[in-house]
Structure 1
Amino acid sequence: MTRLTRWGHSCVRLDRDSSTLVIDPGVFSSLDGALAGTRAVLVTHEHADHVDVARIAAATQEEVDVWGPQAVVDALAGAGAAPERLHAVRAGDTVDAGGFEVRVLGEWHALIHADIPRIANVGYLVENVLHPGDAFVDPEGAPVDVLLAPLGAPWLKLGEVVDYIRAVKPRQVVAVHDVLLSDPGRGLSVLQLGRLGGAGELVVLEPGDGIDL
């Protein structure tokens, strides 16, 4: 059995027996809990709310391996990360990270505005758990049991999240990416997704809370 624990904003951790994997440990996440004892980190893209560069670079000096787009690898290397612990990935790759098989999907961040250049963003399908990062990543026909769905972001309209959930058809939806929302705004977004999602049970986890998959 795998345990999925949310550690704030877009950061989640997967634990199964002695295997552990952390996805998107950013500056708004509770990293002491997320990183404790792990040896594997996936990063979807270079934005600070998805990767705390200083903290993750330091973690590589303690034998933590990190996978992410080339821009993430470059940022971590520039912050003093151990080079042998950094692994660049792109759409189409399959890797073993922390004892989990991971498919890499992507590969662009959702458009924020035409005046803002788009950056690389990959999603990770970890044994039927899909973390799309900041994009509506296509699972390419693969079954998705758990979809990590964003609630609020500069690039996001909630109606698009509803349509994304309906297209992916997960068994469960775990709400993430909510630090920019007020408590009332977060509650309203959760209410709307629960009413309109149309696929899968909506699960809301506070930092440190988890579910068994």
Structure 2
Amino acid sequence: MRLTKHAHACIDVEHEGRRIVIDPGAFTPNARDLLANADAVLVTHSHMDHLDPDAVADAMRARIGLVLYGPEDVVASLREEFGERVRAVKPGDVLEVAGLSVSVYGGLHAEVLPSIPRAVNVGFLLGGRVFHPGDSLDPPDVEVETLLVPVSGPWIKLAEAAQFVSAVKPLRAVAIHEVILSPIGLALAAHVLGNGSSPSVPVEFLEPGTEL
């Protein structure tokens, strides 16, 4: 299994000649290019920075074998056109996606404000090794080799990201959900989370296009 980090929360997974794209949202400039070569799409939740519905729909029209997996509210708007090619998932599901075992975790998006309803959010454990939490800091109840760690957003602070890493205890931690940070903010986050003094495992900050 080969993973490549792209801008924000988007991850490209290659496994045995097939490709899965996770969270191709509006903050990922090359999302359409990634979708053009994808066999499956995993979406953690419906927010636009994780799902560009127009890009996904265009890719599914152009690529007849492309299948999307996500929470019910994600797939509902696509079901009329694409039918069984969009498949709802929920926590506890174990799937085979493009030949790769995927376990579904989570339940709800982290709270932004008490007045804002929490969206449905799922996390994906890929091949029993790599965990993408979407916009949640609920730790999975399994050992994780590589943890993708959200580091910015209206729902998170750096101390919480550090606590998430410490709770999961992965062998490796890689930052995602970073594009709203200014260059100074990104450097600060990398300093706080990357020096090993806060989380139990230093968080790596990788450039988009870097292979994990």
* Cα distance between partner residues in 2 of 1:145 and 1:44: 20
State the identity %. Answer: 40
* Cα distance between partner residues in 2 of 1:3 and 1:200: 21
Task: Note if contact 1:194-1:202 (Cα within 8 Å) is conserved in structure 2.
Answer: yes
Name the residue aligned to 1:3: 2
Q: TM-score, normalised by structure 2?
A: 0.92
* Aligned-residue offset at 1:205: 1.9
* Aligned-residue offset at 1:33: 4.1
Question: Are residues 1:68 and 2:67 paired?
Answer: no
Kindly provide the amino acid, as one letter, of the partner of residue 152 in structure 1.
S
Name the residue aligned to 1:27: 26
Per-residue deviation, residues 61-96 of structure 1 (Å, max 9, x unmatched): 212100000000013346x4x122100000100111
Kindly provide the amino acid, as one letter, of the partner of residue 104 in structure 2.
V
Task: Note if contact 1:21-1:100 (Cα within 8 Å) is conserved in structure 2.
Answer: no
Q: Secondary structure at the match of 2:68?
A: strand
Q: Secondary structure at the match of 2:75?
A: helix
Task: Note if contact 2:190-2:204 (Cα within 8 Å) is conserved in structure 1.
Answer: no
Q: Which runs of 5+ in 2 are unaligned?
A: none
* Aligned-residue offset at 1:187: 1.1
How many residues end up aligned between the 2 structures? 207
Task: Note if contact 1:44-1:123 (Cα within 8 Å) is conserved in structure 2.
Answer: yes
Kindly provide the amino acid, as one letter, of the partner of residue 205 in structure 1.
L
Name the residue aligned to 1:154: 154
* Cα distance between partner residues in 2 of 1:108 and 1:88: 15
Q: Secondary structure at the match of 2:189?
A: helix
1:1-213 matches, within 5 Å, as 2-29=1-28, 30-61=30-61, 62=63, 63-77=65-79, 80=81, 82-127=82-127, 128-140=129-141, 142-195=142-195, 196-211=197-212
Kindly provide the amino acid, as one letter, of the partner of residue 118 in structure 2.
R
Per-residue deviation, residues 21-74 of structure 1 (Å, max 9, x unmatched): 111010111214422421111000000000000111222221210000000001
* Aligned-residue offset at 1:197: 4.1
Q: Secondary structure at the match of 2:147?
A: strand
* Cα distance between partner residues in 2 of 1:105 and 1:46: 16
* Cα distance between partner residues in 1 of 2:97 and 2:118: 27
* Aligned-residue offset at 1:181: 0.7
Q: TM-score, normalised by structure 1?
A: 0.92
Q: Which runs of 5+ in 1 are unaligned?
A: none
